[in-house]
Chains A and B, each alone.
Chain A
Amino acid sequence: MNFKKILPQLLTLVVVILVFGFFSYNAQVNMENRGITFGYGFLSQESSFDVQFSLIEYDGSHSYFRAYLVGLLNTILVSVIGIVFATIIGVIVGIARLSSNYLIERTAAIYVEFFRNIPLLLQIFFWYFAALRALPLPEKAEPIFGVFFLTIKGFFVPAFVWNNLDIFIYSVIAAIVAIVFVRLYAKKKQENQGIQTPVLSISIGLLIILPLLSFLLGGVDATVEIPVIEQLSQTSFTYKGGLKLPPELISLALALSLYTATFIAECVRAGVQGVSKGQKEAAASIGLTPNQVLKLVVMPQALRIIIPPTTNQYLNLTKNSSLAAAIAYPDLVLVFAGTALMQTGRAIEIVSITMLTYLTLSITISIFMNWYNKKIAIKEK
């Protein structure tokens, strides 16, 4: 036992406990003095407020906990959409910045410098109010492909109405499991006998055939519901049926992805430039095509540089999504740390839950990205 080694740690722990204890005691005394009670019991009470956009069934007769879930899911939704589009735009712009074509390279550079140097909140306001100004009123909207309607009140898209949806989902899961087994089998076969199996076509075949069978034999049935215009008053209209994506979601996702994409683009550029020129030349000299050079030599090495800073950007995007409250997108901050906090007055309880939730979200993303980073890292022997 090395006492010297443990002592500083013990001291730190004691200090931490003391500080934490002081703050909780202080909060307790002050709350008692002001007649404020503390507790999480309110979570099961009826919330009695509505939310404009929810992924799960919700109205004011549900509990505050359910309202919390609504906000959480909306935060996750906009974050996932943002991360997907930011990655796509970021990779394209990052590669465009390396292009030998002057025009493409300059355009990408201007995009990056422009969007990353304007505060995000301003961009969110810009896209939201620009969208509200530019989008047509429901009755004036031109249908896209006859079934999509982009209006000031939201993006109305056709929805599927399902019968026996669960059987369909099982069939898709079955197909995915089957594909995993086929891939494992193919890999073994190649290692043992050197024979390549056409994994891709088998996978696609499975993904088509199994769900198709569920339609033919499993009683699954889907009809498409197209949005239909409806009159609310002499001058105002909306669409009924189908699925509605609110303009708040669209402009928030747009602003988040355009902003974060600039940083991801720089990560990608750094990653690709971080691979030494000799690697590419060597790969080309052994007869690999430019595509193969990128796929087999450059990308595997570049990704190691790209992933860690990109993880930070994903975390930033998720946290930045809390700016949603400014433009009425019902995310966790607006629904839970906003309306619910106001209606219950339980600031400490709600803010602590909200903070823990963001902490958990961020840690989940970093755990996943760390796992991915480890997977692609060079395995040194």
Chain B
Amino acid sequence: MFKLVKRLTSVVAMFAVLFTFTTETMAAKKSKTLKNTQKKGFVRCGVSQGLPGFSNADAAGNWTGVDVDVCRAVAAAVLGDASKVKFTPLSAKERFTALTSNEIDILSRNTTWTLSRDADIGLTFVGVNFYDGQGFMVRKNSGISSVNDFKAGVSACTNLGTTTELNMRDFFNSKGIKYEPVTFEKADEVVAAYDAGRCDTYTTDKSGLAAQRIKLSNPDDHMVLPETISKEPLGPVVRQGDSVWEDIVRWSLNTMIEAEEYGVTSANADSMKTSDNPAVKRLVGAEGELGAALGLDNEWSLRIIKQVGNYGESYKRNIADTGILPDRGPNQLWTKGGILYVPPAR
């Protein structure tokens, strides 16, 4: 009997590890996340383990990228200082659990917005900061110039636990091609295996392909096929159930995009306070009481633009100037032929 109890205890101890949620009750009135963030003095942000252009740490541990800039914008809005962010690198597998179990407050990790993720597992997507699509990379000398050239038996390397795995199946099934999926947990292993010749093609979001191509031993021997087989709207995610925090993150991102639309940059933001355009004045906090609606002061959006810059500046700094994707493609403003279109801040 005692032996059984001892065994039971060890089983329970194992389960205890599983259920290490912190006890907390629902935020009754104000946003609990906002309160906690202001108390701690930093924004807790989940990012990738290293995807150039989106979230990547340099040798000194400084994070840069368009995903990183979303978190910096929130820090500038809420805490007044864009550098007050604590970054947590997460694998694709860990990311949602880290968010729902309260380890981080924003997940800004090139995450695709889908119905099941939004509705089913306690998450809320707040917007899109990069419109992406899945593509294929192949060796230039393979003679494959289109996705229609793939033949049955093709082996495809990719990341574990992403929408990529599902799209790949849909795509090859629709073509009636039997394929071999080789899925790794980390992007570095995918690159190494593809580089060694384990796979005929490497498939993931096109931005990812462009960023990872630089890591191959001979980047010039490889190319990304022109076709895009899926829609991958990537954007920041927050926990479900804190609508104030959700609004803050959403409008921090929207502010960056709208600032570009009105030509407000980090350099000229202060001088825009005296602009003739009321929309611009609202954007830099010189008119209206928009900050109060979010539980913030009225300079919140001005700080975002001054400290982080508008979306165009962020894109140029992180993605275009680094040679990853110089062409903005769909990630151009709606006024310039792209699909970036945000609701007005008023």
Residues of A within 8 A of B (CB): 9, 12-13, 16, 19-20, 23-24, 26-27, 29-31, 33-37, 48-52, 60, 129, 132-133, 137, 152-153, 230-236, 238, 240, 246-248, 325-328, 330, 334, 338-339, 341-348, 351-352, 355, 359
16 A-B pairs (CB sep. < 8 Å): A30-B23, A31-B122, A51-B181, A233-B138, A233-B142, A235-B141, A236-B142, A247-B198, A326-B189, A330-B183, A339-B160, A339-B183, A341-B93, A347-B96, A348-B18, A352-B15
B93 in contact with A342 (CB, 8 Å): yes
B122 → chain A closest CB, angstroms: 4
Residues of B near A16 (CB, < 8 A) are: 5, 8-9, 12
Known A16-B12, A342-B162, A355-B14: A235·B142 in contact at CB below 8 Å: yes
**What distance in Å separates the Cβ of B154 from its nearest Cβ neighbour in chain A?**
6
Which residues of A lie under 8 Å from residue B317 when comparing CB positions? none
Contacts of B240 in A (CB 8 A): 34-35
Q: For B15, what are the chain A residues with a Cβ–Cβ distance below 8 Å?
A: 20, 23, 352
Contact across chains for A345 and B154 when beta carbons are under 8 A apart: no
Which chain B positions have C-beta within 8 A of A338?
93, 160-161, 183, 185
**Least Cβ–Cβ distance between A359 and chain B, in angstroms:** 8
Q: Does B334 contact A (CB under 8 A)?
A: no
CA distance A77 to B331 in the complex (A): 47
**B198 and A132 within 8 A (CB):** yes
Describe A's contact surface by its main secondary structure: helix
B-to-A contact residues, CB < 8 Å: 1-2, 5, 8-9, 11-12, 14-16, 18-19, 21-26, 92-93, 96-97, 100, 116-117, 120-122, 138-139, 141-144, 149-151, 153-155, 157, 160-162, 165-166, 168-170, 173, 179-186, 189, 192-193, 196-198, 200, 239-241
Asked whether A33 lies within 8 Å of B26 as measured between CB atoms, the reply is: yes
Question: In the complex, which residues of chain A have a beta carbon less than 8 angstroms from the beta carbon of B153?
Answer: 230, 232, 238, 240
Q: List the A residue with the shortest CB-CB distance to B25.
A: A33
Please name all residues of chain A whose beta carbon is closer than 8 Å to the beta carbon of B179 when the two chains form the complex: 50
The 8 Å CB contact of A48, one of B5, B14, B157, B166, is B166
Known: A234-B141, A236-B154; 5 extra A-B contacts, CB below 8 A, are A16-B9, A60-B173, A153-B198, A236-B142, A352-B18
State whether A334 touches B12 (Cβ < 8 A). Answer: no
Residue of A nearest to B9 (CB): A16
Is B185 a contact of A9 with CB atoms below 8 Å?
A: no
Residues of B contacting A248 in the complex (Cβ-Cβ under 8 angstroms): 182
Measured CA separation A30–B22 after assembly (Å): 8
Contact A236 B200 (CB under 8 A): yes
Q: B316 CB to closest chain A CB, in angstroms?
A: 33
- In the complex, A153→B97 CA distance in Å? 34
Chain A residues with CB under 8 A of B5: 9, 12-13, 16
CB distance from B218 to the nearest CB of A (A): 14
A153 and B19 in contact, given A35-B240, A49-B169 (Cβ under 8 angstroms): no
- List residues of chain B with CB within 8 A of the CB of A233: 138, 142-144, 149, 151, 200
A36-B100 in contact given A236-B200, A338-B161, A343-B166 (Cβ < 8 Å): yes
- Whether B241 contacts A33 by the Cβ 8 Å rule is yes
Report how far A346 CA is from B121 CA in the complex, Å: 8
| In the complex with contacts A49-B169, A129-B196, A328-B184, A19-B19 CB distance below 8 A | no
> How far is it, in angstroms, between the C-alpha of A33 and the C-alpha of B9 when the chains are bound?
28
**Residue in chain B with minimal CB distance to A13:** B5
Query: Which of B12, B122, B139 is in CB contact (< 8 Å) with A34?
Result: B122
- For B239, the chain A residues whose CB sits under 8 A away are 34
Q: Shortest beta-carbon distance, A340 to chain B, in Å?
A: 9
Q: Which residues of B contact A129 (CB under 8 A)?
A: 192, 196
A277 to chain B, nearest CB (A): 39
B182 CB, nearest partner CB in chain A, Å: 5
